[in-house]
Every structure is written in C-alpha cells, then in structure tokens.
Amino acid sequence: MKLQDVINDLEKRYPHQPEFIQAVKEVAITISSVYDSHPDYSRCNIFERLTEPDRTISFRINWEDDQGNIQVNRGWRVQFSNAIGPYKGGLRFHPTVNESVLKFLGFEQIFKNALTGLPMGGGKGGSDFDPKGKSDSEIRRFCYAFIRELYKYIGKDMDVPAGDIGVGGREVSYMFAMYKNLTHEYSGVLTGKGVGFGGSLIRTEATGYGAVYFLENMLGVHKDNLTNKRVLVSGAGNVSLHAAEKAASLDAIVLTVSDSKGTLYDAKGFDQEKIDWLKKQKEQRKPLEEYVAVFGGEWLAGQKPWQFEADVALPCATQNEVDIAEAKQMHENGVKYIVEGANMPLTAEAIDYVREKNIHYAPGKAANAGGVAVSGLEMSQNSVRQYRSFEDLDLQLHRIIKDIHDSAMRAALACQPEDAPCIDYMTGANIVGFSRVADALVAYGILN
Ligand code: GLU
C-alpha cells in the first residue's frame, strides 16, 4: 500500500485519534524517498504493518482511596513493535491519557529506540489516573492495582515498561515490588528502578542531560557551544530540571522553567543551588511560585516561557505545547535552536513554521532518546547482574547521543539540497529509525 493510502485509511479508521495520526503523518512525509527507493518496503507492506500495533491491552483498574471508596480508572499497554527487541517504553499516568496519546507515543518510541542502536522494540502504556493531589498511600495502592493487571503481559524479554509523565522512581518501585511478589521472579522487567535494587545510575538524569548533549552536538557543527547562551526551558519535571541542570553546568543562562500554573523567570539564570531548590520543591509537590520569595525573579501566572528573548528553546513539558503562534514568538525573540525534550511538543504547523524560518530543530525522538538509552543499559546491567559506574554510563550516554546525532545528520545531508541552511534532523532521524526496523521486518518475511 502507498504511504498516502495508509494515512487515508488510518484517518478513516481512527478519526478520534488525532495525536496518533499527527505522529504517523510526520514520519510518512519524511521517509517517502526511502520508501520509494526500496521496493521491498512496499512489497512487504511495511508502513501499514508498522502503523497498526502488534496488540493493545486495555483493562480496568479498581483501587481504594483514603476514604475507603473504590475508584475506577482505565489502563492500556500498546505493544507496538518488537521487531528489533522486547517492547520498550514508559508508562504515563495523567488524566489526558487515552488510546490516541499512547499510540502516538508508542509509534514514536519504535523509531526512537531504534535510533539508540540498542535492541529495543517500541511500546507505551499508562492510565487516565491523575496523581495530582493523591496521598502516597493512594499512589501505592493505585500502582499495585495497575501492575496486578499488567503483569501478565510484561516480562524482561517480552515487554519492559519504565516511567513517563506521572511515573517516576517511586511509582516504578511500587510496581516492581508487586511484579516480584506476583511472579516470584527478580528480573529487569521495569527500568528506572531505585539504584539499590537493580536501577541504573544516571537513568533519572538521562533524558534531560541527553537533550542537552544533542544540542551540544548541533552547536558543534557550527563550531559553537553553550557558553552564555540564553535558554528557555518549559516544564519542571524530571526532563526539564535535568536539562536545565546540564545546560547551566555548561555555562548557559537558563531563564525559565514552567508548569501547568505558569512560568518562573529568573534573569540571572538558574544555577545549581536554585535547581536543587526547584527539585526539592517539586518533589514535595509545592508551588514553583514560592521561588520568588527565596531567590527573586518573576512568577507569570498562567503564562508560557516563550515570551522572552533567548537563543535556545527546550520544550520539555508535553505534546503539542508549542503551537504556531508560540513558534512565531520564539522566532521573534531570536531563538535559533529548538530541541525537543518532550515527545512531540511542537504541533505540525509549528514544525513547518520553524523549518521555514531556518531555526535549527531537533525532534524529540532523536533529542530525548537519552532516557530510553540508559533504560537499555539498565536492562543489560540487570541481565548480567552487574552495576556500572556513573562515569562509565555518562560516557556511554554521550556516545549514544553523538551516534544518533551523526547518523541523523548523515541521512539528512544525503537527501537535502547542498546549500540548505539547516540540517534536517527530523527527516534524518526518521529515515535512520525507520530503516532499521523496516529492514528487520523484510528479513523476517511475513511475521512481525
Ligand atoms: N518515557 C521515556 C521516553 O519517552 C522513557 C522510556 C523508557 O525508558 O523505557 O522515551
């Protein structure tokens, strides 16, 4: 089937899955030349096969709140493709979670994981459970109930979940404990575990650090670096704060972080002491706003960070957080580099706009692959029952991100005009990730 026919079909079949269709279209547009030049891809109908998950498991979660009432939530695991390794990808707990969001995330994850060069397939899961305002006991009961259902479908060589929005070390630990309890098996079935019981050093930092390493590689192409670059970060979760921390350590001036309530701006930049304070504040689920009383700066209620002049934007919050009006704002404010720490934070229109304006742009599936890459390293440490040092893993993370950058760049340069002002990382990353998975499927014949 032709790429466009696959999209038409998906639009008809899944009209209520806009995020998924958006992610598929982005890949289709950028791989069309490769698809056309590989007759095996259309003969084996690779694109149609890769846009339908191997399976989606959906289930109900009953859990008891602190008042003794039984609450009900919905849960899913989208096992998208295990062509090049066990299904791998995070679990998201957020009220916006539905099948469309998880299918888009799972689809992206296939190519992101392939880009790391590690043997991991793509999957994603989660629940529409809202962790906000829940007590620790409620979170624990929910995690136990969630994994009591999901444990039947995952395994260290089958499907290895991890964290995502709303799921961090605490939640992974609860789920790991319940899995161990139910199966009598101590294995690397989840990544992002505590470092004392199978978790990997630098896993917590890896997504944010990796995004900044990717940016360093992009700047390096232009013989530039992060020193004194003004950086806008959105979000105040794990990815955002570690991206801010790494950028600040490389002498960038990080001006903003944000959350659903507003934006925190500090013209002097966030240094390590301020970032440590922010981490603690978020850990205790206290408002960002309180920063102003301690360190100064400004709290902009209900606003996003893109109104400030800067050189770099790191959207690290969530999908479609930057629309075309906000992309314009970035351009007017002098932003030259946009690196996606979140998954698909720019809308399709915003991406078209920034590419048209020759802003250097790195898509999430390349730039935020550091997290899942270290998850891959956690899996291998668990398999050989060994721990590796922080320095060793950081070096490996640097190498993996550089490989992703360089392979995406090479693929982009091979198909874009010689005088193009920017490297088309989006096309390059999609071509590399897609080809690795497609070639495996061709080699398998008809099976997944
Ligand atoms: N949720 C992260 C991502 O979007 C990490 C997934 C993992 O470590 O498996 O890539």
The pairing of beta strand 253-259 with beta strand 230-234: parallel
Report whether residue 164 contacts ligand 1, using a CB cutoff of 6 Å: yes
Task: Kindly state whether residues 164 and 245 are assigned to the same domain.
Answer: no
**Distances from the Cα of 266 to the Cαs of 93, 274, 290, 372, 413, in angstroms?**
30, 10, 13, 31, 38
pLDDT for 436: 98
Is residue 38 domain-resident? yes
Give pLDDT tens digits for 101-118: 999 999 999 999 999 999
Q: Which CATH number goes with the domain that contains 61?
A: 3.40.50.10860
Distance of CA 330 to the CA centre of its chain: 22
- The average confidence (pLDDT) of the chain is 98
Distance separating alpha carbons of residues 258 and 172, to the nearest angstrom: 25
Q: Taking the CB of residue 425, how many other CB atoms lie within 10 A of it? A: 24
**Is residue 159 included in any domain, yes or no?**
yes
If one counts the domains in the chain, the total is: 2
Tens digits of residue pLDDT in 239-285: 999 999 999 999 999 999 999 999 999 999 999 999 999 999 999 99
Give 78-136 as a DSSP string: EEEE-SSSSEEEEEEE-TT--HHHHHHHHHHHHHHHHHTTSS--EEEEEES---TT--H
279 catalytic per annotation: no
CA dihedral over 334, 339, 345, 349, signed as positive or negative: positive
Q: Is the pLDDT of residue 161 over 90?
A: yes
| Cβ(371) – ligand 1 distance below 6 Å | yes
Q: Is residue 197 part of a domain?
A: no
Supply the residue whose CA is at minimum distance from atom 8 of ligand 1. 372
Question: Which of 343, 364, 385 is at the close of a domain?
Answer: 364
Instruction: Of 117, 88, 69, 13, give the one whose Cα is nearest residue 406.
Output: 117
pLDDT one-digit tens code per residue, 187-197:
999 999 999 99
Q: Which of 103, 124, 193, 282 is catalytic?
A: 124
Chain segment 196-210, per-residue pLDDT in tens: 999 999 999 999 999
- Domain final position from 131, 159, 186: 186
Same domain for 10 and 144, yes or no, is yes
Is the per-residue pLDDT at 447 higher than 90?
Answer: no
Query: Domain check: are 263 and 119 in the same one?
Result: no
**End residue of a domain, out of 306, 330, 364:** 364
Same domain, 68 and 178: yes
Please report whether residue 82 resides in a domain.
yes
- Which pLDDT score is estimated for 448? 78
Same domain, 292 and 173: no
Residue 1, pLDDT score: 87
Distance 309 CA to ligand 1 centre (A): 31
- Model pLDDT, residue 396: 98
Check whether residue 161 and residue 235 sit in a common domain. Answer: no
Residues 312-325 as b/e (b if ≥16 CB within 10 A, e otherwise) read bbbbbbbbbbbebe
Nearest atom (ligand 1) to Cα of 191: 8
**pLDDT number for residue 371:** 98
Query: Measured in angstroms, how far is the CA atom of residue 55 from the centroid of ligand 1?
Result: 19
Alpha helices in 184-237 (DSSP H): 203-221
* 370 Cα–ligand 1 center, Å: 9
- The span from the CA of 370 to the CA of 238, in Å, is 13
Beta strands in 349-447 (DSSP E): 360-362
Name the residue of 79, 109, 118, 190 to mutate for ligand 1: max ligand atoms within 8 A of Cβ.
109
Question: 210 and 171: one domain?
Answer: no
Instruction: Say if 198 falls within a structural domain.
Output: no
* Kind of pairing between the strands at 262-265 and 253-259: antiparallel
Mean pLDDT of 335-352: 98
pLDDT at 86 over 90: yes
Kindly tell me if the per-residue pLDDT of 186 is higher than 90.
Answer: yes
For the stretch 389-405, pLDDT in tens is 999 999 999 999 999 99
- For 5-23, the pLDDT digits (tens) are 999 999 999 999 999 999 9
CA–CA separation, 94 and 29 (whole Å): 30
pLDDT at position 17 is 98
pLDDT of res. 410: 98
In angstroms, rounded to a whole number, what is the distance separating the alpha carbons of residues 247 and 252?
Answer: 5
pLDDT digits (tens, 9 = 90+) for 59-85: 999 999 999 999 999 999 999 999 999
Q: Is 181 inside any structural domain?
A: yes
Distances in whole angstroms, Cα of residue 31 to Cα of each of 83, 345, 409, 430: 18, 21, 15, 7
252/283 same-domain check: yes
Distance CA 437, CA 47 (A): 11
- For residues 355 and 209, membership in a common domain is answered with yes
If asked whether residues 210 and 102 sit together in one domain, one would say: no
Sort residue 190 into left (φ over 0), alpha (ψ -120 to 50) or beta.
beta
Q: Are 329 and 306 in contact (CB under 8 A)?
A: yes
Q: Is the pTM of this model over 0.75?
A: yes
Model confidence at 421, pLDDT cuts 50, 70, 90, reads: very high
- Ligand 1 neighbourhood includes 375 CB (under 6 angstroms): yes
Residue 442 is assigned to a structural domain of this protein: no
Percent of residues, the chain, with pLDDT higher than 90: 99
| H or E segment to which residue 59 belongs | strand 55-64
Asked whether residue 94 falls in the same domain as residue 229, the answer is no
Is pLDDT at 313 greater than 90 in this prediction?
A: yes
Of 183, 175, 32, the C-alpha closest to 90 is: 175
The one-character DSSP state at 254 is E
| pLDDT tens, residue by residue, 133-144 | 999 999 999 999
Domain span holding position 115: 3-186
Answer yes or no: is 137 within a domain.
yes
Here the CATH number for the domain that contains residue 256 is 3.40.50.720
Tell me, using a 6 A CB cutoff, whether residue 90 lines ligand 1. Answer: yes
Residue 360 near residue 38, CB atoms below 8 Å: no
Residue that is written with structure tokens 């730039």 in the block: 367
Under the phi-then-psi rule, with left for phi > 0, alpha for psi from -120 to 50, and beta for the rest, what region is 391? alpha
Q: Is residue 147 located within the same domain as residue 244?
A: no
